[in-house]
């Protein structure tokens, strides 16, 4: 699909609203600079989408004066407007609780583009087991201001597997009504991605006292021993995280299944718009994302954003391919767990067909 850049309407045109009057309910002076910074709109799938349209939508529900790039939070509105809009820093009402290396980063970033979703800029790791959980003030203080119409979203990827009681802690602090989102992907690919990441950072991790347990020079030496030995007490950092069923069980106990949503990591790579639409429904917010807001980049192996801001995550060096026998052994190991997961959740994921 061709993405054509066309000129943005003039500032004078922008200042007229549909009724021909001035748009003056709020201070619109911000728009000039924002639009000048963008200076264009996009023809996507036959329709013209302006950045202005997006910024206006966001502005109407937000406590911030939006800006470009649209990933930035923007400037906090003045106190009188904040009061009028009932802006507050609130605890999250939704959490992306994993899984690491399945696309949780892009998922979080894309979701925060939705006018009705706000979240902290990065990972707070409040539920990672190292934080004083009674210090909710610390947590709330790090949340952006939100209106009641908005969903406050946090990302806590380690919570998926540890600490063991993370689901209970999240339920207790964020109430049983909190919505939990997981993104699950091909377990072997996930493990490989994490392995190369940990390998690349091994010196820093050792220096900062973090564990590099199970890390060997070759991927297969880091994971294969476990699939041969009988001792199930022996934990392998890489293998265990990809064994989704054992972790998902922990979340089904404190939460109703209607509060848990699973994103298919494979579909998210090829068609993020459709996966994001399912999340909009799950969160009960207005539909904003469309499939043609994104395009698939075969060289990268995942999708980039077209609207409201053209954006691609930078590519990592390609992983060296796995030896066929290693892949077969890994698949053999995960197959029964994946089948169990499909039965437990009563759904199959696209990546389940790989093995
Ligand atoms: N749209 C889009 N853009 C970029 N990357 C995408 C996307 N969709 C899925 N992926 C895959 O996400 C992998 C990184 O996952 P995470 O963001 O969960 O990693 S992290 O845990 O936050 O480090 C990353 O894996 P690596 O390339 O191995 O890093 C990607 O394969």
**Residue 27 belongs to a domain:** yes
Answer with the one of 84, 99, 119 that is the final residue of a domain.
84
Q: Based on the fold, state whether residues 94 and 59 are members of the same structural domain.
A: no
Range of the domain at 348: 89-188+240-289+321-353
Same domain, 61 and 110: no
Say if residue 118 is in the same domain as residue 23. no
Backbone angles phi, psi at 93, to 5 degrees: -105, -5
Same domain? 267 vs 161:
yes
Same domain, yes or no: 67 and 184? no
pLDDT, residue 227, reads 56
- Pair 29, 138 in one domain: no
pLDDT confidence of residue 67:
82
User: So what's the pLDDT on residue 46?
Assistant: 62
* Closest by CA position to 82, among listed 124, 26, 36: 26
Q: Are strands 145-146 and 47-50 parallel, antiparallel or unpaired?
A: unpaired
Q: Does any domain span residue 245?
A: yes
**Given this model, what pLDDT does residue 215 score?**
73
Query: Which of the listed residues 96, 102, 200 should we mutate to test ligand 1's pocket, taking the one with most ligand atoms within 8 A of CB?
Result: 102
- Name the domain count of the chain: 2
- Measuring from atom 10 of ligand 1, which residue has the nearest CA? 103
Does residue 301 fall inside a structural domain?
no
In a domain, 302, yes or no: no
Site of tokens 């476990």:
226
From residue 286, alpha-carbon distances to 61, 102, 152 in Å are: 12, 26, 15
Whether residue 128 is found in the same domain as residue 141: yes
Quick check: CB of 311 below 6 Å from ligand 1?
no
Q: 183 pairs with which residues across the strands?
A: 263
Q: What is the pLDDT of residue 219?
A: 76
| Exposed/middle/buried for residue 10 (C-beta within 10 Å: 0-12, 13-18, 19+) | exposed
User: Domain boundary residue among 65, 84, 103?
Assistant: 84
Q: Classify residue 156: in a domain, yes or no.
A: yes
Nearest Cα residue to atom 12 of ligand 1: 103
Do 47 and 166 belong together in one domain?
no
Which one of 61, 84, 107 terminates a domain? 84
Only one residue has tokens 């790989």, namely: 354
Alpha carbon distance 332, 10 (integer Å): 61
Same domain, 16 and 153: no
| pLDDT number for residue 210 | 62
pLDDT score, position 268: 98
Residues 183 and 327 in one domain: yes
Element (H, E) at 14: helix 11-15
Q: Rounded to the nearest 10 degrees, what angle do helices 29-38 and 51-61 cross at?
A: 140
Q: Are residues 119 and 38 in the same domain?
A: no
Asked if the structure places residue 270 within a domain, the reply is yes
The 3-state DSSP composition of the chain as helix, strand, coil percent (nearest 5) reads 45, 15, 40
* Residue 221: per-residue pLDDT: 75
CATH code, domain with 285: 3.40.50.300
What phi and psi values does residue 156 have, to the nearest 5 degrees?
-130, 75
Please check whether residue 195 is in contact with residue 222, taking contact to mean a CB–CB distance below 8 angstroms.
yes
Q: Which residue has its alpha carbon closest to ligand 1 atom 5?
A: 103
**Would the CB of 158 count as within 6 Å of ligand 1?**
no
Query: Based on the number of CB atoms within 10 Å of its own CB, is 23 exposed (0-12), middle (13-18) or buried (19 or more)?
Result: middle
Kindly indicate whether the ipTM for this predicted assembly is greater than 0.95, answering yes or no. Answer: yes
Structural domain contains residue 216: no
What pLDDT score was predicted for residue 10? 34
Residue 314 in any domain: the answer is no
Predicted local confidence at residue 6, as pLDDT: 33
Domain shared by 129 and 38, yes or no:
no
Alpha carbons within 13 angstroms on the beta-carbon side of residue 38 total 31
Cβ neighbours around 326 below 10 Å, total? 17
Each residue's pLDDT expressed in tens, for the chain with a length of 355 residues = 333 333 333 333 333 333 333 333 444 454 544 444 444 555 555 666 778 889 889 999 999 998 878 888 889 999 999 999 999 999 999 999 999 999 999 999 999 999 999 999 999 999 999 999 999 999 999 999 999 999 999 999 999 999 999 999 999 999 999 999 999 999 999 988 988 888 887 767 666 666 566 677 777 777 776 555 433 444 577 888 999 999 999 999 999 999 999 999 999 999 999 999 999 999 999 999 999 999 999 999 999 999 898 889 987 777 778 888 888 888 999 999 999 999 999 999 999 988 7
pLDDT of residue 25: 43
């Amino acid at each position: 699909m061709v993405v054509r850049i066309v000129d943005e309407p003039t500032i004078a045109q922008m200042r007229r609203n549909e009724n021909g009057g001035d748009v003056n309910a709020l201070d619109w002076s911000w728009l000039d600079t924002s639009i000048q910074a963008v200076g264009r709109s996009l023809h996507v799938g036959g329709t013209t989408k302006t950045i202005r349209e997006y910024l206006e939508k966001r502005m109407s529900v937000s406590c911030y004066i939006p800006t470009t790039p649209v990933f930035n939070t923007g400037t906090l509105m003045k106190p009188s407007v904040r009061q009028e809009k009932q802006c507050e820093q609130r605890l999250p009402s939704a959490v992306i609780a994993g899984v690491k290396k399945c696309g949780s980063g892009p998922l979080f970033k894309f979701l925060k583009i939705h006018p009705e979703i706000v979240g902290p800029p990065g990972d707070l790791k409040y539920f990672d087991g190292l934080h004083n959980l009674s210090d909710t003030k610390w947590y709330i203080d790090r949340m952006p201001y939100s209106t009641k119409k908005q969903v406050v979203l946090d990302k806590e990827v380690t919570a998926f597997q540890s600490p063991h009681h993370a689901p209970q802690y999240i339920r207790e602090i964020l109430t049983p009504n909190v919505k939990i989102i997981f993104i699950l992907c091909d377990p072997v690919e996930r493990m490989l991605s994490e392995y190369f990441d940990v390998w690349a950072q091994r010196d820093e991790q050792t220096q900062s006292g973090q564990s590099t347990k199970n890390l060997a020079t070759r991927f297969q030496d880091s994971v294969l021993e476990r699939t041969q030995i009988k001792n199930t007490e022996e934990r392998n950092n890489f293998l265990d995280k990809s064994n989704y069923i054992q972790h998902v069980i922990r979340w089904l106990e404190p939460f109703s299944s209607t509060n848990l949503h699973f994103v298919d990591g494979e579909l998210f790579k090829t068609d993020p718009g459709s996966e994001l639409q399912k999340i909009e429904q799950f969160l009960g917010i207005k539909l904003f994302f469309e499939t043609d807001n994104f395009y698939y980049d075969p060289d990268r192996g995942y999708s980039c954003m077209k609207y409201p801001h053209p954006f691609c995550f930078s590519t990592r060096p390609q992983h060296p391919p796995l030896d066929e026998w290693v892949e077969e052994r890994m698949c053999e190991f995960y197959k029964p767990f994946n089948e169990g997961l499909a039965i437990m959740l009563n759904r199959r994921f696209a990546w389940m067909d790989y093995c």
